[in-house]
Amino acid sequence: MKEALFYFFEKETAMIEIKDLSKVYQTKKGSVSGVDRVSLTIAEGNIFGIVGYSGAGKSSLIRCLNLLEKPTSGQIEVNGVDLTKLKGPQLRKARLKIGMIFQHFHLISQKTVAENIAFALRAAGTPRNEIEDRVTELLEMVSLADKKDVFPAQLSGGQKQRVGIARALANNPSVLLCDEATSALDPNTTLSILRLLKKINRELNITIVLITHEMNVVKEICDRMAIMQDGKVIEEGSVYDIFSNPQTPLAEEFIKSVVSFDIPEAILNECRGRILKVLFRGHVAGEGVITDTIQQFNIKGNFLHGSIEYIQERPLGIFLMEVQGNHKAINKAVSYMEERGAQVEVIRNGL
């Protein structure tokens, strides 16, 4: 155990392995399953998003990761150390390497920005002569050096969250847990906080686990993601793969909140041709496949909707279009687009 603990604390980055994890709550009405046999592997240095609606179990899961909630069963390994087997001083020491930021900031209102951050350092036993320099370093990292002596009530929501991030980073964690960290913020502030988290991830190589119900958050910074429903993980993979090829109705529902292609029924009723949904992955999204297809097979094409989204810095093109012409030519055109790397779905065959 001593060797394993040494390895855990000395290694700069972390990999999390969740094995068959369950959390059951006892209520007056009986047992309620918050997390139901979840298994996930989170690679070191990744930003991993966990998505789900309220009650899906994502908050219970993330609170189990640092044992704020004690799991009913299963294992949580960080760099090969099972945290569920640690107790007392060992567990407290392990938690210092797992920072956490919250939706509602949880700052101490009677303390200044600097004192809020210093509080975390003092709690960890940091030598007094090192605290001031570390606080200054952290405030510069989150772009709040000029707010050192300000109280939380004088800060905006985004600034409060930056203080929360600085405090979570105070003890050089290997893992940063984000519990709906942007849900209380406006869109512009959310984007600035996400960019800060991405910068921290890249510069410090900290593994970030982020829970949210907003797919825009996942699309902006996550490498991989899991979708939860009723305490279970129902889909897991790279953000790009899930956006480009969702496997469950819930994943499709979440994606539509970010990329919507609903066409008014009145416009659809005016269409007489075949209506296609055409999806291009990767570099193919930037090529003129549709234009080439229309010219080569002598068909008419009418774009109804379309865009190119950039996910993990890779393009994903999605288009809705009406095509008219000889049925045989249209079938050949569809086959040609598929040969060029497109995924084509017939929404309606035409009137």
Residues 6 or more apart in contact with residue 288 via CB below 8 angstroms? none
Contact 344, 337 (CB under 8 A): yes
What is the residue-averaged pLDDT of the chain?
88
Look up residue 167 and give its amino acid.
Answer: R
Q: Could you give the CA distance from residue 328 to residue 293 in angstroms, rounded to a whole number?
A: 14
User: 278-330: per-residue pLDDT in tens?
Assistant: 888 877 665 688 888 888 888 888 888 888 888 888 888 888 888 998 889 99
Tokens, residue 150: 């300000």
Residues 6 or more apart in contact with residue 222 via CB below 8 angstroms? 47, 48, 49, 210, 239
Between 55 and 234, residue with greater pLDDT: 234
Look up residue 253 and give its amino acid.
Answer: E
pLDDT of 153 reads 94
SS (H, E, C) the chain: CHHHHHHHHHCCCCCEEEEEEEEEEEECCEEEEEEEEEEEEECCCCEEEEECCCCCCHHHHHHHHCCCCCCCEEEEEECCEEHHHCCHHHHHHHHCCEEEEECCCCCCCCCCHHHHHHHHHHHCCCCHHHHHHHHHHHHHHCCCHHHCCCCHHHCCHHHHHHHHHHHHHCCCCCEEEEECCCCCCCHHHHHHHHHHHHHHHHHHCCEEEEEECCHHHHHHHCCEEEEEECCEEEEEEEHHHHHHCCCCHHHHHHHHCCCCCCCCHHHHHHCCCEEEEEEEEHHHHHCCHHHHHHHHHCCEEEEEEEEEEEECCEEEEEEEEEEECCHHHHHHHHHHHHHCCEEEEEEECCC
Assign domain 2-97+172-256 to a CATH class. Answer: alpha beta
Residues 6 or more apart in contact with residue 21 via CB below 8 angstroms? 35, 37, 38, 39, 61, 64, 71, 73, 74, 75, 76
Could you tell me the maximum CA-CA distance found in the chain, to the nearest angstrom? Answer: 81
Residues 6 or more apart in contact with residue 134 via CB below 8 angstroms? 121, 126, 170
Q: Could you give the CA distance from residue 26 to residue 31 in angstroms, rounded to a whole number?
A: 5
* 342-348 and 274-281 beta bridge pairing: antiparallel
pLDDT of 351 reads 59
CB count, 10 Å around CB of 135? 22
Mean pLDDT of 206-214: 94
- Tell me how long the chain is: 351
- Local confidence band at 199 (pLDDT 50, 70, 90 cut-offs): very high
Between 167 and 28, residue with greater pLDDT: 167
- Which has the closest alpha carbon to 224: 42, 61, 44, 17? 42
pLDDT of 162 reads 96
Domain ranges of the chain: 2-97+172-256, 265-348
Q: What is the dihedral of CA 118, 120, 122, 126, to 10 degrees?
A: -100
User: 244-285: per-residue pLDDT in tens?
Assistant: 889 999 999 998 888 776 777 777 778 888 888 888 887 766
pLDDT of 286 reads 58
Q: What is the dihedral of CA 219, 55, 46, 183, to 10 degrees?
A: 50
Mean pLDDT of 15-27: 92
Q: Could you give the CA distance from residue 287 to residue 213 in angstroms, rounded to a whole number?
A: 33
Q: What is the pTM of this model?
A: 0.86
Look up residue 324 and give its amino acid.
Answer: Q
Tokens, residue 335: 């086959």
Topology of domain 265-348 in CATH is Alpha-Beta Plaits (3.30.70)
Phi, psi torsion values for 151, nearest 5 degrees? -90, 155
